[in-house]
């Protein structure tokens, strides 16, 4: 998106799912909103040398949705905030009696638009460029008393070989995001096959997905195992192992 400002500058809007280049960062790569808590707090930090104005909103999965265009069962306060250099800000997310499924998680997205300070007026013949970074991370609304626990659900995933693909069945009530899937004889042995191009990394609750395998060495897969890593509640990786099985 390009917009020519009256001062002769160009504002470039860039969206990042992780806060890699932005000066204002979110403490975490995901938000787990436990229903029993009624609200969740997100910590922001300005690690840059300039003050920034932030606009914060949520959406239900459409990355093109603008603030106010999507109705979500949450209230954010403050929705607009200024953060000075080296300062932090707490943002509260409050649930507004959401009529959401009670037997599984629901997925929403937390958006933060980082608006830079106004640059000095451009000189004649020159154009100044400013970057407004948008950071977008997942928010999982987690109802009370879901079973099994998230850590146990990672272990109970059903993985099977289906031709040149891996079929994953997630019977749990959680969204599970994969970071790595490999087939090996042992944890330390060479990789016999792996998923290199994920069509999507997240499998929804009570659903299944198929991942294409790369570098498959079919003659050597007997007695092998799946070694897979998933992203846990803290943004780290949890690794599990399953004996290789073929789908019927």
CATH of residue 124: 2.60.40.10
Which pLDDT score is estimated for 1? Answer: 31
Same domain, 119 and 166: no
Same domain, 111 and 204: no
Same domain, 164 and 105: no
Encode pLDDT of 167-182 as tens digits: 999 999 999 999 999 9
* Stronger pLDDT, 242 or 17, i.e. the higher one: 242
Q: How many domains does the chain have?
A: 2
Percent of the chain with pLDDT over 90: 68
Average pLDDT, integer, range 76-100: 95
CA separation for the pair 40, 229 (Å, rounded): 27
Which pLDDT score is estimated for 215? Answer: 72
- The candidate with the shortest Cα–Cα distance to 89, out of 106, 102, 76, 101, is 76
Same domain, 127 and 230: no
**Buried b / exposed e across 131-153, counting CB within 10 Å, b at 16+?**
ebbbbbbbbbbbbeebeeebeeb
**pTM, two decimal places:** 0.86
- The candidate with the shortest Cα–Cα distance to 23, out of 3, 58, 51, is 51
Encode pLDDT of 89-104 as tens digits: 999 999 998 899 999 9
Q: Are the beta carbons of 132 and 15 closer than 8 angstroms? A: no
Give the end of a domain, one of 142, 163, 182.
Answer: 142
Helix (H, G, I), strand (E, B) or coil at 134: strand
- The candidate with the shortest Cα–Cα distance to 198, out of 181, 183, 184, is 181
Reduced 3-state DSSP string for 168-208: EEECCCCCEEEEEEEEECCCCCCEEEECCCCCCCEECCCEE
Structural domain that includes position 88 = 2-142
Encode pLDDT of 136-148 as tens digits: 999 999 999 999 9
Give the end of a domain, one of 110, 142, 174.
Answer: 142
């Amino acid at each position: 998106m390009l917009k020519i400002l009256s001062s002769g500058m160009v504002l470039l809007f860039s969206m990042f799912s992780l806060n890699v280049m932005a000066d204002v960062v979110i403490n975490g790569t995901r938000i787990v909103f436990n229903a029993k808590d009624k609200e969740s707090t997100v910590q922001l930090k300005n690690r840059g040398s300039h003050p920034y104005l932030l606009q914060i909103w949520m959406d239900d999965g459409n990355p093109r949705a603008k603030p106010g265009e999507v109705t979500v069962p949450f209230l954010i306060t403050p929705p607009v905030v200024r953060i000075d250099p080296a300062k932090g800000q707490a943002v509260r997310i409050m649930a507004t009696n959401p009529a959401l499924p009670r037997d599984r998680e629901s997925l929403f997205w937390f958006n933060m638009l980082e608006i830079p300070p106004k640059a000095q007026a451009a000189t004649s013949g020159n154009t100044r460029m400013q970057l407004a970074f948008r950071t977008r991370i997942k928010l999982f609304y987690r109802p009370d008393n879901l079973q099994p626990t998230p850590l146990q659900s990672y272990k109970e995933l059903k993985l099977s070989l289906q031709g040149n693909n891996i079929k994953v069945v997630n019977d749990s009530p959680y969204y599970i995001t994969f970071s790595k899937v490999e087939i090996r004889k042992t944890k330390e042995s060479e990789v016999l096959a792996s998923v290199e191009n994920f069509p999507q990394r997240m499998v929804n609750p009570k659903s299944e997905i198929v991942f294409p395998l790369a570098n498959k060495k079919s003659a050597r897969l007997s007695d092998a195992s799946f070694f897979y890593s998933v992203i846990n509640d803290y943004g780290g990786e949890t690794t599990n192992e399953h004996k290789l099985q073929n789908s019927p």
